[in-house]
């Protein structure tokens, strides 16, 4: 597949017009980390302990350079991967093009439009968009021969595929699960909610008994965000609803299942079981005012620092016993016009190897690594054993939120977010609002 210069130019024009949307920071959890300015740097000579083979590119002594578009040298343990690869291929040199996470997509588009093609790119939900335009290499045949492939979950394959073609590899796979405040649960006299009905019962008890914090602040069963499709997805998926149809050609947010899911969300806010969404949900949790909190491992440090007596469980089950969160992380891909495709693929293969994932402090994509004693020992020292076990279980059913990505219709997620605000804040009729939003998004997608 050749790179479409016309497509690249169109993407560049979209950038200049400010119409592009990137992946939100919450969508990828703590996996962005890019605070450097967009500048190019060359890094070489890294070493790492471990068994390696000497040799140059493709067995030769010729030097070669891997150009990598990323958010930072130490992000995603990229420095470790470069060191390990350097031992296998001593003649490799690296050129890193770094940019802040929220500028990475735009930076990559600009580079392609100027003919400055990286070999490897870090993406965060826009891989399908790039692949559709001919910018990324089809990884399918290569990845299917990797050891990790048989263990990839359905959600991971959804995130990394365009149709039946693998266009990127999900990395540091994460998801949302349930944090709960043990002290508040004990005060309320309730058990850990296993279903959304259990969560509703906790809300009803809080309101009926006027339960507050020690300093008189209002307490809630949970919170519901409005401006982040990814964070809303547990409420949607667990009720048996979907955002899009099977071939992702239309949104189905106006289906009976979706209407039921959004009515449930509306009821939580209307009845005071969840606060009116105003962006303060994180702070309410840290204040000790929420019994449960649907979030991810990136919020563990702040929770611990706030002194919350926290424990973890999977998302409560909804319709038909479903407990479903969204697939997060970042993704790595190889550019179609890379001058070092073979070596770029070897580099990615290393990043998804068991050896690398055990050494990396992050980077777990293979769910089997969660059961590795060496990895478990590291997590035990950091106090992460419980949360990691819960995340592993939640990831087995996690799904990709296609509506949250720009390759279908960039404005779609914004239209949906506005609809959710009308439902939760203005308390408008759910069926009417979702039907209007679905019609608007599907019209845009059809153009």
Residue 226 pLDDT: 80
Residue with tokens 């039907």: 435
Distance from the first to the final alpha carbon of the chain: 25
Domain identity same for 183 and 162 = no
Q: Is 12 part of any domain? A: no
Q: Is residue 7 part of a domain?
A: no
Cα→Cα distances 177→71, 317, 397, 404, Å: 26, 12, 11, 19
Q: What is the pLDDT of residue 408?
A: 65
Does residue 370 belong to any structural domain of this protein? yes
- pLDDT tops 90 at residue 120: yes
DSSP 88-152: H-TTEEEEEEE--HHHHHHHHHHHHHTT---SEEEESS-HHHHHHTT-B---HHHHTTSTTGGG-
Mean pLDDT of 156-176: 95
313 plus 424 within the same structural domain: yes
Between helix 229-237 and helix 412-424 the angle, nearest 10°, is: 70
Distances (CA, A) of 147 to 173, 202, 333, 387: 17, 45, 18, 26
Domains in the chain, number:
2
68-109 pLDDT, tens digit each: 999 999 989 999 999 999 999 999 999 999 999 999 999 999
In the predicted model, what is the mean pLDDT of residues 224-230?
86
What token pair was written down for 5?
């210069």
Mean pLDDT for 407-415 is 82
In the predicted model, what is the mean pLDDT of residues 385-402?
Answer: 95
Based on the domain organization, do 167 and 181 belong to the same domain? no
Contact between 22 and 124 under an 8 Å Cβ cutoff? The reply is yes
Q: Is 240 part of a structural domain of the chain? A: yes
**What's the pLDDT tens digit per position in 56-66?**
444 557 899 99
DSSP letter for 296, please.
-
Residue 9: inside a domain? no
Pick the range with the lowest mean pLDDT from 136-140, 210-214, 228-232, 314-318.
Answer: 228-232
What is the predicted pLDDT for the residue at 49? 34
What's the Cα-to-Cα distance from 72 to each of 95, 329, 377, 389, rounded to whole Å? 12, 15, 27, 29
Q: Which range (26-35, 68-77, 195-204) has the least confidence? A: 26-35
128-154: buried (b, 16+ CB within 10 Å) or exposed (e) per residue? Answer: bbbbbbbbbbebeebbeebebbeebbe
Residue 288 belongs to domain spanning: 177-325+408-446
Q: Is residue 72 part of a domain?
A: yes
Nearest to 328 by CA among 170, 126, 178: 170
The Cα–Cα gap between 24 and 125 comes to 9
Report pLDDT for 39.
36
Round the average pLDDT of the chain to a whole number and report it: 87
pLDDT at residue 33 is higher than 80? no
CB atoms within 10 A of CB 362: 17
3-state secondary structure 402-413: HHHCCCCCCCHH
Same domain as 387, residue 344: yes
Q: Based on the fold, state whether residues 145 and 158 are members of the same structural domain.
A: yes
Is 21 inside any structural domain? no
* Residue 15 reports pLDDT greater than 50: no
State the CATH number of the domain containing residue 183: 3.40.190.10
Residues 129 and 225 occupy one common structural domain? no
Q: How far apart are CA 173 and CA 222, in angstroms?
A: 25
- Mean pLDDT calculated for residue range 420-446: 96
- For residue 113, tell me if it sits in a domain: yes
- Verify that 430 and 340 share a domain, yes or no: no
Cα–Cα distance, 240 to 234 (Å, whole number): 10
**DSSP states of 243-295 as a string?**
SB-TTSSSB-TTSHHHHHHHHHHHHHHHTTSS---SS-HHHHHHTT-BSEEEE
Clarify whether residues 82 and 231 are in a common domain: no
**Helix or strand run (H / E) with residue 439:** helix 430-446
- How is the beta sheet containing 39-43 ordered, strand by strand? 39-43, 92-98, 64-70, 120-123, 330-334, 169-171
Q: Measured between alpha carbons, how far is residue 139 from residues 151, 283, 342 in Å?
A: 17, 42, 11
What is the tens place of the pLDDT at every residue in 343-380? 999 999 999 999 999 999 877 999 999 999 999 999 99
Classify the C-alpha dihedral 274-277-278-282 as positive or negative.
positive
pLDDT of residue 41: 42
219 shares a domain with 76: no
- How much is the pLDDT for 25? 34
Q: Would you state the pLDDT for residue 22?
A: 33
Do residues 382 and 301 lie in contact, with contact meaning Cβ atoms separated by under 8 Å? no
Which pLDDT score is estimated for 407?
63
In this structure, are 98 and 134 located in the same domain? yes
Task: Give pLDDT, residue 256.
Answer: 97
Arithmetic mean of pLDDT, 235-240: 95
Domain endpoint, select from 391, 423, 438: 391
Judged by DSSP in three states, 331 sits in: strand
In a shared domain, residues 223 and 282 = yes
**Is residue 187's pLDDT more than 80?**
yes
Based on the domain organization, do 87 and 111 belong to the same domain?
yes
Tell me the Ramachandran region of residue 212: left when phi exceeds 0, alpha when psi lies from -120 to 50, beta otherwise: beta
Which one is predicted more confidently, 57 or 271?
271
């Amino acid at each position: 597949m050749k790179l479409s210069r016309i497509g690249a130019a169109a993407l560049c024009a979209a950038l200049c017009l400010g119409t592009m949307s990137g992946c939100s920071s919450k969508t990828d959890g703590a996996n962005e980390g890019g605070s450097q300015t967009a500048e190019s740097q060359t890094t070489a000579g890294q070493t790492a302990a471990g068994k390696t083979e000497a040799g140059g590119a493709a067995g030769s002594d010729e030097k070669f350079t891997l150009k990598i578009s990323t958010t930072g040298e130490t992000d995603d343990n990229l420095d470790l991967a470069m060191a390990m690869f350097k031992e296998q291929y001593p003649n490799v040199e690296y050129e890193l093009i770094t940019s802040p996470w929220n500028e990475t997509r735009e930076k990559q588009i600009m580079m392609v439009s100027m003919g400055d093609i990286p070999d490897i790119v870090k993406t965060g939900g826009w891989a399908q968009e790039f692949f559709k335009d001919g910018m990324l290499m089809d990884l399918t045949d290569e990845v299917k021969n990797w050891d990790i492939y048989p263990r990839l979950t359905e959600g991971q394959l959804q995130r990394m595929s365009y149709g039946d073609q693998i266009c990127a590899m999900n990395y540091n796979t994460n998801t949302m699960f349930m944090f709960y405040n043990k002290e508040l649960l004990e005060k309320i006299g309730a058990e850990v909610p296993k279903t959304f009905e259990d969560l509703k019962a906790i809300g009803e008890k809080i309101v009926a008994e006027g339960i507050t914090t020690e300093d008189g602040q209002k307490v809630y069963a949970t919170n519901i965000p409005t401006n982040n499709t990814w964070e809303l997805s547990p409420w949607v998926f667990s009720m048996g609803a979907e955002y899009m149809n099977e071939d992702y050609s239309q949104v189905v947010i106006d289906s009976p299942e979706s209407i039921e899911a959004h009515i449930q969300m509306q009821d939580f806010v209307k009845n005071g079981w969840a606060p009116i969404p105003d962006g303060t949900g994180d702070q309410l949790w840290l204040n000790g005012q929420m019994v449960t909190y649907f979030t991810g491992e990136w919020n563990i440090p702040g929770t611990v620092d706030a002194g919350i007596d926290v424990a973890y469980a999977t998302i409560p089950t909804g319709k038909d016993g479903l407990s479903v969160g969204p697939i997060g992380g970042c993704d790595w891909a190889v550019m179609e016009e890379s001058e070092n495709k073979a070596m770029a693929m070897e580099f990615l293969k290393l990043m998804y190897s068991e050896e690398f994932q055990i050494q990396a402090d992050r980077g777990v994509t293979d769910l089997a690594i969660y059961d590795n004693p060496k990895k478990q020992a590291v997590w035990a020292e950091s106090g992460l054993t419980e949360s990691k076990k819960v995340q592993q279980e939640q990831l087995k059913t996690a799904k990709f939120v296609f509506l949250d990505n720009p390759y279908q219709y960039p404005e779609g997620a914004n239209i949906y977010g506005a609809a959710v605000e009308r439902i939760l804040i203005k308390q408008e009729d759910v069926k009417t609002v979702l039907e209007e939003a679905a019609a608007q998004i599907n019209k845009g997608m059809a153009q």
